[in-house]
Structure 1
Amino acid sequence: MAFRLKRKLRQWLYLTHRWIGIVTCLFFAMWFISGVVMMYVAFPGLSEKERLAALPEIAWAKARLSPDDAMKAAGLTRYPRELRLMMLADEPVYRLIDRSGQRQTISAMDGRGVSEISEQQALAIAARHPASKSPHLEEMIDRDQWSVVARYDPLRPFYLIHLGDDAGTKLYVSSRSGEIALDTNRTERVWNWLGSIPHWIYPTILRQDQPLWRQVILWSSGICLVVGITGIWIGILRMRLKRRYASGNITPYRGWMAWHHVTGLIAGAFILTWMFSGWLSVNPGNVFADRNTARDMLQRYAGHDAATIAAKWPIAHPDTVEARFVWLDGSPLVITSSRSGVPTVLDASTGTAAVLPQDRLWDAAAKMLPTAQMTAREVLKDYDSYWYAHHRTRELPVLRAIFNDAAQTWIHISPVTGDVLGQVDSSRRTYRWMFNALHSLDFQLLLKYRPAWDIVVILLSILGTIVSISGVVVGWRYLKR
């Protein structure tokens, strides 16, 4: 009885792997090949450096409204999450984001709200871009392949403007606020059809429905995970290291099936952990904590909640393309940025350069979690396993405040501007190892000595591709029979 049950279970094991694998091996091959493309070509976005480079210098003489006047014109009773001054073509404007996430644009010339811009204004904004040659409107769009995600919703629809440069750069200028939300170039658009789009299963028609897309990722990667587990199980059952087969090999198979068996054994652990981490990428069951810093924590760090800042006006700092008005531990600051991205911190009450002593930053950070104690203060001068650069740069040095709360929270702070750069708790640190480390292999030892990381990831991806393509060939032959 036990023998028959064992034989039946083994039979189902083989059938499950064979028939589900026929379909899923196509997904495996697609994911491994597209993953290599993604190592070198990211999904289009607008970096902070690109955003600042496209802004003109602030015309301080035209800015007649103070930040307090702008908050009053916006009808705010609490200090906003963001308050920035910049140019909209030839007009200085304040851009505000309140605590609920609502955006407003207020003219710094006359206090009127800006909720719509014309095609001529959009073209004037695009003309200031450093890559602009002969900008022209291509079309008006609400959503396309590159602007599909929800974070662009407050800015839709867009003027899609072609800059006429050799790289084929296109700008997405918000018709509501005039902000440049995104830029793409020809290289990004072409290679992403071989990279991020197939890898993330990212066609617009699916990705615009976030809940549906999430379920597709969960189920497709989950089923592939079952195929990986059954494949390794079968591979071990059919492998003979000591009492080998009559041919002298460790596998009973030949041809494509032998390739599938042997490479599956070699790369099995990688394939399995890679699929598992891919499944975790959408945070099934919301097991892992949110990465964003809570608003009440940021408010305590600022030490101010009223819609006032009483900045000395005008600041008139030269070469400035953006001025951010912030509070830090009850003190008003203005952080100006040049087109190169270099920040300057000013005391808002005097307009003079401000110095941020680290003790002051530590004191402000300690107030973020009033029910916990700051147990350690670290100054990171080099990257480590939790603060590192991979596909994007990160500020160094950086301050890390460590707390003894139940979540074991770490908060990272810029010693230059005082900005809270992010937080991680024990849940996010676990996610870092279970997703980032297993999926991207972003171990510091490999990243520090690149191209070691490139070589390891490409070799493992080649093995995974061999397993996948051999599985496709074998599956096709079964179907033909």
Structure 2
Amino acid sequence: MRAAKRIKRWLILGHRWLGIVTCLLFVVWFGSGLVMMYVGFPALTEEERRAGLPVLALDRVAVTPEAALAAAGQASFPRALRLEMRDREPVYRVTAWDGTRHAVSAVTGSPLAAVPEASAVAVAAHDPRAVRPRPLAPVDRDQWSVTARYDPLRPFHRVALGDADETVLYVSARTGEVALDTTARERLWNWFGAIPHWIYLTPLRAQAALWRDVVLWVSGIAAGGAVTGLVVGLLRLRPRRGGRLTPHRGWAAWHHLGGLVGGVTLVTFVASGWLSVNPNQWFGPRAPSRAMLESYAGGTAPTALGLDAVRQAACREPVEVRFVRVGGAARALIACRGAGLAVAPPELPGASAAHIAGAARRLLPDAAVAATTLLTAEDAYWYAHHRPPRLPVLRVAFDDPAATWFHLDPATGEVLDRLDRSGRAYRWLFHAPHSFDVGILLRHRPAWDLLLWGLIGAGMVVSVSGTVVGWRRLRRNRA
């Protein structure tokens, strides 16, 4: 009995002081999470990027893909090779395996130098949202371009489009490609949404390892406060005179009873948020490795489909050509304005999917294919949260120790993701309890909104009342 009392006392003291530290954090997290339901962090989608590209002048392309790769210093086929316009000039854009970016003129074959401000404004003027493009101060890194994914493209010219949404484009001063767009609405609401929710302060987020450690420690301590509060709340729950279930009154009673209702929500949100930064690398990567992709391509030689075959298969208004290799065969994926994708060389119906399914076996050459499934509807592991998913998709499951799955586009051959056993666990340990993207909630937005508003409301009752109680205790202690 003496040991039990000591444990209970330490639980109460631990929760009291952890709560004083963390309840204000919970208020911020719940409030910012509500904002994030409706305003995401700025990002340039593929649809937006392609909409801003001029029609590709294939008749002016005089340089072969192989010559462009040689000019970019690539001895093997790179991670990505695209052909598109940079204002009025067709260019090859090369993404090397180490992430570096190169731009090569498709007219002269010369590597392109740094992009001046006037050229960046001309590039931005092709965006359909552009009204009166004008340059803003250039940046190397700011709040919206803080993550490492933008490092190969820095620094940036910023161009205001002069539209009603006050859109700003970030044009790479190295390659001339548009990397990011932001609107006034996004820039305003993210200060109340993603920035406080993810602790996305620029000086901290610029140091990825430090930011990750801060998130792990802060969310871990917060999870401790939530768990101890739930335990203490249950220990103090007992019927009293007048039917009261709590010994507390006022804000403390709200905190106790609200915690019994919203405490599980609090623990669920905070614990799954802690898992979001992959502590101890428990969850495997979603991207295929270089070795997997080179094996799937069927070779590393810097060869691509010839320009004549691209011109023959091109649609009326091509805006981009992506050169790929699948199972030893060179292909070109031609993005057409308003008409989807054309594939060169053209193949008989079903032949492309059969070739891709055969090439997929190369992704893990030391394992056997356990199952191949063509998905024509979303399921628990292939979906787009409240958006139409990319379908159909080919799922190839292997019998390797990690039980790895790959999702591929059966029309283009793109490897869309890699999902092993740990990745499927992450889907249920993070996405399901944090975003509630399950069942009917995944497909019906009003139901999802109502549930999240209710859960966030319950969490806010616990957090606000805990903040008031903690502040009053601190004031008493000071007095």
Q: TM-score, normalised by structure 2?
A: 0.96
Query: Aligned partners of 1:469 and 1:273: how far apart in 2?
Result: 18
The aligned counterpart of 2:367 is 372
Deviation of 1:105 (Å): 0.8
1:294 to 281, 289, 299: 289
1:344 to 326, 342, 345: 342
1:450 equivalent in alignment to 2:445: yes
Query: Aligned partners of 1:28 and 1:332: how far apart in 2?
Result: 53
Deviation of 1:339 (Å): 3.4
Query: Aligned partners of 2:456 and 2:57: how far apart in 1?
Result: 52
| Cα displacement string for residues 312-371 of structure 1 (whole angstroms, at most 9, x for unaligned residues) | 437332211100111111111110002347111111xxxx56654332221111121111
Q: Which amino acid aligns with 2:173?
A: S
Q: Which amino acid aligns with 1:222?
A: G
1:358 equivalent in alignment to 2:353: yes
Deviation of 1:449 (Å): 2.8
The aligned counterpart of 2:471 is 476
The aligned counterpart of 2:168 is 170
Q: Which amino acid aligns with 2:426?
A: Y
1:255 equivalent in alignment to 2:253: no
Q: What is the DSSP-based 3-state SS (H/G/I as helix, E as strand, rest coil) of the residue aligned with 1:289?
A: coil
1:57 equivalent in alignment to 2:52: no
Q: Which amino acid aligns with 2:469?
A: V
Where does the alignment leave 5 or more consecutive residues of structure 1 unmatched? none
1:384 equivalent in alignment to 2:379: yes
Query: Aligned partners of 1:294 and 1:238: how far apart in 2?
Result: 52
| Cα displacement string for residues 243-285 of structure 1 (whole angstroms, at most 9, x for unaligned residues) | x112311111122111111111112222112111111111111
| Cα displacement string for residues 73-101 of structure 1 (whole angstroms, at most 9, x for unaligned residues) | 22322111111100111110001112222
Deviation of 1:450 (Å): 2.6
Query: Aligned partners of 1:309 and 1:354: how far apart in 2?
Result: 21
1:246 equivalent in alignment to 2:246: no
Query: Aligned partners of 2:368 and 2:115: how far apart in 1?
Result: 49
Q: Tell which deviates more after alignment, 49-58 or 297-306.
A: 297-306
2:262 to 260, 264, 267: 267
- Distance 1:222-1:136 versus aligned 2 partners, 3 A rule: same
- Distance 1:283-1:260 versus aligned 2 partners, 3 A rule: same
Query: Aligned partners of 1:76 and 1:204: how far apart in 2?
Result: 34
The aligned counterpart of 2:84 is 86
What does 1:47-446 correspond to in 2, within 5 Å? 47-240=45-238, 244-313=239-308, 315-316=310-311, 317=314, 318-340=316-338, 342-347=340-345, 352=346, 355=349, 356-390=351-385, 393-446=388-441
Query: Aligned partners of 2:66 and 2:339: how far apart in 1?
Result: 26
* Contact 2:353/2:411 (<8 A) preserved: no
The aligned counterpart of 1:43 is 41
* Contact 1:54/1:339 (<8 A) preserved: no
| Cα displacement string for residues 183-240 of structure 1 (whole angstroms, at most 9, x for unaligned residues) | 0001111111111011001111211111111111111101111101110111000112
Query: Aligned partners of 2:54 and 2:11: how far apart in 1?
Result: 64
Deviation of 1:301 (Å): 1.4
Q: Which amino acid aligns with 1:423?
A: R
Deviation of 1:446 (Å): 1.4
* Contact 2:305/2:323 (<8 A) preserved: no
Deviation of 1:151 (Å): 0.5
Query: Aligned partners of 1:104 and 1:422: how far apart in 2?
Result: 25
Q: What is the DSSP-based 3-state SS (H/G/I as helix, E as strand, rest coil) of the residue aligned with 1:164?
A: coil
Query: Aligned partners of 1:102 and 1:154: how far apart in 2?
Result: 5
Q: Which amino acid aligns with 1:73?
A: A
Query: Aligned partners of 2:85 and 2:388: how far apart in 1?
Result: 26
Q: Which amino acid aligns with 1:11?
A: R
Query: Aligned partners of 1:335 and 1:462: how far apart in 2?
Result: 48
Query: Aligned partners of 2:386 and 2:219: how far apart in 1?
Result: 24
Count of matched residue positions in the alignment of Structure 1 and Structure 2: 472
Query: Aligned partners of 1:354 and 1:126: how far apart in 2?
Result: 39
The aligned counterpart of 2:7 is 9
Query: Aligned partners of 1:79 and 1:203: how far apart in 2?
Result: 37
* Contact 1:66/1:313 (<8 A) preserved: no
- Distance 1:15-1:476 versus aligned 2 partners, 3 A rule: same
Q: Which amino acid aligns with 1:28?
A: F
Deviation of 1:391 (Å): 5.3
Q: Which amino acid aligns with 1:134?
A: R
Deviation of 1:310 (Å): 4.7
- Distance 1:331-1:378 versus aligned 2 partners, 3 A rule: same
Where does the alignment leave 5 or more consecutive residues of structure 2 unmatched? none
RMSD, aligned CA: 1.4
Query: Aligned partners of 2:352 and 2:308: how far apart in 1?
Result: 25
Query: Aligned partners of 1:169 and 1:339: how far apart in 2?
Result: 22
Q: Which amino acid aligns with 1:263?
A: G
Query: Aligned partners of 2:110 and 2:143: how far apart in 1?
Result: 34
Q: Alignment identity in percent?
A: 47
Q: What is the DSSP-based 3-state SS (H/G/I as helix, E as strand, rest coil) of the residue aligned with 1:411?
A: strand
* Contact 2:130/2:161 (<8 A) preserved: yes
- Distance 1:459-1:471 versus aligned 2 partners, 3 A rule: same
Deviation of 1:373 (Å): 1.0
- Distance 1:128-1:314 versus aligned 2 partners, 3 A rule: farther
Query: Aligned partners of 2:33 and 2:301: how far apart in 1?
Result: 48
The aligned counterpart of 2:23 is 25
Q: Tell which deviates more after alignment, 250-259 or 273-282.
A: 250-259
